Structure formats: C-alpha cells, structure tokens
Structure 1
C-alpha cells in the first residue's frame, strides 16, 4: 500500500498528568501516478500498559483477525488507562501525491501514574494510530511518550472552586519571587503553569530542620541539617553534618539516595496488601569523618528518575539512607588536628567500631517537561 502515515507530538515527548496532548497526523499517497486504495478508516487512541513482575506476562491478542483496531495488540501486561478511540476519517481515497492533515488532542487523566520501569512494576504510555484498507490488514503506528505524575497536587478546577488560587500564587511568589505567575488571569493560565506553580510553592519553601543522630549508647554522633524535604527532579539534595561537640567520634558516613517501590495486591474488600518491596540506590556519597568539624552532603536527583506516586497497584517513596561507623573507644595518643607533628604518628592497625543505620524520608515531585528536555539535550 503506497500510503505513508506520519505523526508528531507538537509539545515534545514528556507530559505532566492532566496536561493536554496534541498530535499532528499526516497521511500521504506516495505514488505520483495512481490513486491510493480506499482506506476504510483511521483511528487514534492513548493507552497506558501496566506490567507487574510477579504476574505472568501475557501479550494481548487480536480479535477477529487483524482487521479491527486493537490499540494494545502485542503489548505485554494489562491496559491500565485507555482513552476513547477517535476516528480520523472513513472511506478515504488519496489522489496521486495528495496528503491529508489531521490534529488529535486528548487530555491525560489527572491521576495517571508516571512512566516507570521499576523492579516490581512498570507503566508505559503510547499513542496508537491505526489505519485499515478494504483489502489489507490494520496497520498500527505507536508513539511512546513519558508522563510525570502530579501526586499530591490539587486539580485546577479544585483550586478554582475552593478559592485557593490566590494562596497558591502567594506561596509560589514567596518561594521564587523571580517567577511571574498571574492567577488573576487564571482562565488564560494553562494546566501546566498551574501545576508547576503549586510544585514550586511546595519545593521552593525552605525550613531548616536539624536532627541529632545518636548511637546505641545514646552518644551523639553528629547533627545533620537539611534545608527542605520536598524536591523537584533535577534538584540537589543539600545537607550539612556538624561533628563539633559530639560525644562519639564518627569514622565514616555513607549516604544513599534511594527509592522504595511497594507492590500491592488488592483484596476483595478493597484493602491493599503489600506483597513485594524493591529498594533501588540512585546516588551515593561517602565521607571520611574523623577529625572533621563539618561536612556537606550533595546528592543529585536526575531528571530521568520517577517522582513519588501512589496507585492501587504500587507506591514509590524516596528516602536518604545513612550508614555510620563510629569508634567504640577513643584512639589514645592521637595528634591534635591542625597542629604540627613533632614525630610521625602511626595509627593503630585495627580499631573497635560500631555500625548503625538511620533513614530520612523525602518527597520528590515532577519538574517542567521542558527542563527535562533541555537537560537531556545538554548531555
């Protein structure tokens, strides 16, 4: 069939949940001499496929041969989200060299899960176009795209109905006074602008929190300060260790940025029962802390990571995992730090140490799709 089908997502391939997706479609007759065969129909649809590791993976099969439009044909897993199919045309014949242009627009569900490739569960999105001729099979064109969840963010209609748009703007301006968000003109504000303004209000506010970390004997090992616990993708987790005036000496500290994926099984009563946990480490920083008065922690949240989310099948949470190694007994005859040595000091071959762990939960939100695209193009 000398017919070419082209499709393009006008806003790129990354979207926020609740944001409208626009696709421009072109169908052309590549033959410059003859008309194209009659095209019976063309249809387009958005799908989200979910695949759970513990469940047997099954590929969706076609029904009534391969002449009907089945968007999930050949996909692995089950269909989690499926929009209503939209018909582009019926009984179309293209003259030699002729092209027809169409535009498809669909809003992503507000509660849509993010695109995620985890150890226990996976969510993937595709825009599927199907074209069928009277004498041939249905041909499918799939366009994958990424979705960022907006878990914990109010919908734009809920914000307007409760009158919280002014409060959201005030918080956003306090968080970042250099960003001009005009809620007085909310009708003109896009869904993306409203979502990002709320995220900026949450992640932009800083409130220094201090944590006294002690060992099993109750001796203070360090005081850890964190400027905030809510972050956007692409930001740095910045913290400070204060080892001054501590009663226990810290030899080493290791901090890991981890995501914890919890997979659930839904009971008949509707209650979710956790059946699997998967922890993944995305960044690590290790410090030799002996004789340090203070140290800085910096861990980067890559834009390619998945923000926090919660669905009926799985949750994804984030945390900082700390591992401390401390001295059980002080080292005798140890030289004073930053003082000149009269003789060369020989440290002991072995020391008695105590190891313990500590965790601190954080929340990760989505960032602007344009920021992710820009960061990936700079690599």
Structure 2
C-alpha cells in the first residue's frame, strides 16, 4: 500500500499569473503483518510514474451550452490525466503535465516528497460559481503501478482575477531599462527587482485605498428623497462599503431604505440571439429611517465572492441596489420641539423607488482570502 499526500503550503488561493506550489509525498507505511520470512522483492512497493497538471473546467447552463456549441475550447492535447466531464462542460485551461518521477521504489516506512510548481496563465478565467457559468480549478496528480489502472488525486484550488490593465502596466515597468543604463554606484545596496505580480498588487492596493467621495441626490417625481455619499468607488474582497444618507435636504418623507450588494452575470457570446443575464444578491442593509436626519450604510463584501472579470463567454460586474420607500402623506411630518405629542396616521400611502449604482470590485492578497475562507489544504489518496 502507498499513501499519496498532496499539501498546499501557502494555502489554496492564488492570483492569475502567480506560481503555485504543491508538495506531493509518496509514503509506504510499515505493515503490522510484515514478517522476516517475506522475500526482499515483496517488501518494496513500486510506482511506474507520477505527474501533475492544472485543469480549469467550464460548466455552463444548458441554454448557454447550446449557444456555445460551435466554439472549440477543448483544443488541448489528451493526456493520461484528462478528466471525463459532462456535455455542458469543457476544458478551459490545461497546463502541460510535469513528470514528478519515473520508477519509484519504497521500502516499508520510507517516503519521498516532490515539489510541483506551475504558473497559472495570466489570461486564465477566475474561479467562479455563477448561475449561467462556472469555472472550477483543480491540480490533478496522476500515478500508476505497472500493468494497473491510473489513479488520480484531485486538489481543488481557487484562482482570483487580476485586472489586465494593472498586469500590463506592471510588465511594462519591469521591462523598462532606463534605470539599468544609469552608472552603477558600487557603494549602494543592490535592491531586488520586483516582479510584475508584486507591482500589480501594489497598484491594486493603491486604487482601493484611494478615497474619492461622490454625492448623489436621490429624487422622485414628488421631490428630493435624500443625499447619498459614497466615500470611494473601488473596493477589494473583505472590505466594508461605507456611505451616508442625509435626509435634511428631503422634501419627501423616506420611511425606510434598503441597500443590496449585487453582481450581474451576463453572457458575451456573439452567436447568441440575446445575451442572458442573472442578478445575484450578496448581503443586504436595511434601516427604518422615518424621522432621521442622517443614517450610515455599512455593507461588508464577502471573501468567497468573485471580483469583476470578463471572458469571451461571460462578464461579471458589481453594483449597489437601492430601494427607497417614500410617502407624501402630510401626517408623517414630525412635530416641532415645542409639541409633546404626535399621533401617527392610521394609513399611509407609500411608493417604492429603485436605483442601482455601479462599483468596482477587485481581488485582494490571496493569503487574506485563504485565512477567511476555510478549506482543506491536505488531500490524500491510498493505492492498494
């Protein structure tokens, strides 16, 4: 018997363009039934080969799959690690398989560890579980005894998107040779040159940290409802969306306000008669605000959602969806400070108005996501 243990030492979350690392250990545990009378050949366990490869599978809704029928994305050469998937799924990304070893022999109690490293392609789609489209990533580790079936160990990982513009700018900065042409100073410490991925992450942090307050006057046909201020338009996973409502400018009574964090999933297929769209809600803020001068919006962004991205198949955008319940009933006007009593009207005629405000949602440092979203970083396979 041989145990195969795959471990992700840096967590299961990675950025597109990042190099992942996975340690794969092959262990031959000692058998309690082992006796001295066994021959030397019987003691050893052997494997003919082992290799590893990254797969990204794209699963689509039946209607999307029908529109996508003529598109050929499964143009990767078949390997022993190919995974059988249903008719509504195709291989979107497949890296070249890397051989971990050939002809491995292990005696009882002996183990051998190999490190698998692979760069996730920059143009890879992110991990995403939508209603129309799903992108799923796995590290597939395959091994085989001589004259036996291939055994597969699949290690799920999550890939976050990195804005293409940020990555292109970072690559351009790394390719800039202006600094290299200047005379070298032998007394200065040589600084390690940053990678494009590190530069792109710094740019992402700068964009999401920049405060740029914007105010919006909310009105309907009867007058002003409120003034809403959003402190910045760009956010990263795990942040809180913070804004304020000012009702002192209102000429129409606002009874309650609701704000939802929503994503819009939309297909991009050219041969589709009409793009298909789905709206998915993640979190809601609700406040009964009658009589308020001010109130504050605090809406957390979950770590498990997928930031903005776009592929040839689907695009994902984010927005804040507002619902205001208003009334022109004069009986809702609150008394002045001199009055000690106020009788609320028995019936109130209300109207509901909706409004959506687009926002930008970016990825964050993968370790932050891995710490907030629990996942098993150790996966095992037993070969008998």
TM-score after normalising by structure 2: 0.81
Task: Quickly say closer, same or farther: Cα 1:288–1:333, change in 2 above 3 A.
Answer: closer
Q: CA shift at 1:77, angstroms?
A: 1.6
The equivalent residue for 1:363 is 360
Match of 1:53 among 54, 58, 61: 61
The equivalent residue for 1:98 is 110
The number of residue pairs the alignment matches comes to: 340
The equivalent residue for 2:236 is 232
The equivalent residue for 2:278 is 278
Task: Quickly say closer, same or farther: Cα 1:120–1:106, change in 2 above 3 A.
Answer: same
Which SS does the other structure have where 1:244 is aligned?
Answer: coil
The equivalent residue for 1:138 is 150
Larger RCO: Structure 1 or Structure 2 (Cα < 8 Å, ≥ 6 residues apart)?
Answer: 2
Q: Are 1:84 and 2:96 matched, yes or no?
A: yes
CA distance in 1: counterparts of 2:24 and 2:138, whole angstroms: 15
Which SS does the other structure have where 1:331 is aligned?
Answer: helix
Kept after mapping to 2: 8 A contact 1:262/1:274: no
Task: Quickly say closer, same or farther: Cα 1:357–1:30, change in 2 above 3 A.
Answer: same
CA displacement 1:63-93 (0-9 Å, x = unmatched): xxxxx61332357721111000111222333
Kept after mapping to 1: 8 A contact 2:6/2:24: yes
CA displacement 1:286-310 (0-9 Å, x = unmatched): 1222221111111000111111111
Q: Are 1:161 and 2:175 matched, yes or no?
A: yes
CA distance in 1: counterparts of 2:124 and 2:354, whole angstroms: 35
Q: CA shift at 1:150, angstroms?
A: 0.7
CA distance in 2: counterparts of 1:363 and 1:299, whole angstroms: 15
Match of 1:254 among 246, 253, 258: 258
Kept after mapping to 1: 8 A contact 2:81/2:140: no
Task: Quickly say closer, same or farther: Cα 1:300–1:333, change in 2 above 3 A.
Answer: closer
Which SS does the other structure have where 2:216 is aligned?
Answer: strand
The equivalent residue for 1:264 is 268
Q: What's the Cα RMSD here? A: 2.7
Kept after mapping to 1: 8 A contact 2:208/2:234: yes
CA distance in 2: counterparts of 1:246 and 1:333, whole angstroms: 12
CA distance in 2: counterparts of 1:249 and 1:332, whole angstroms: 7
Point out the more displaced range, 123-132 or 258-267: 258-267
Task: Quickly say closer, same or farther: Cα 1:273–1:363, change in 2 above 3 A.
Answer: farther
Q: Are 1:24 and 2:23 matched, yes or no?
A: yes
TM-score after normalising by structure 1: 0.82
Q: CA shift at 1:273, angstroms?
A: 6.6
Q: Are 1:207 and 2:212 matched, yes or no?
A: yes
CA distance in 2: counterparts of 1:332 and 1:118, whole angstroms: 43
Q: CA shift at 1:216, angstroms?
A: 2.5
Which SS does the other structure have where 2:148 is aligned?
Answer: coil
Structure 1 unaligned spans of 5+: 58-67, 166-183
Which SS does the other structure have where 2:91 is aligned?
Answer: strand
Task: Quickly say closer, same or farther: Cα 1:235–1:273, change in 2 above 3 A.
Answer: farther
The equivalent residue for 1:293 is 293
Which SS does the other structure have where 2:284 is aligned?
Answer: strand
Kept after mapping to 2: 8 A contact 1:47/1:82: yes
Q: CA shift at 1:354, angstroms?
A: 2.4
Q: CA shift at 1:362, angstroms?
A: 0.3
The equivalent residue for 2:309 is 309
CA displacement 1:217-242 (0-9 Å, x = unmatched): 4x221111111010011100000111
CA displacement 1:315-348 (0-9 Å, x = unmatched): 1111001111222343277422xx26444x3211
Which SS does the other structure have where 2:167 is aligned?
Answer: coil
Point out the more displaced range, 156-165 or 84-93: 156-165
Q: CA shift at 1:31, angstroms?
A: 5.0
Q: CA shift at 1:7, angstroms?
A: 1.5
Point out the more displaced range, 327-336 or 300-309: 327-336
Kept after mapping to 1: 8 A contact 2:227/2:249: no
CA displacement 1:125-162 (0-9 Å, x = unmatched): 10001001212100001100111111242244233236
Point out the more displaced range, 96-105 or 238-247: 96-105
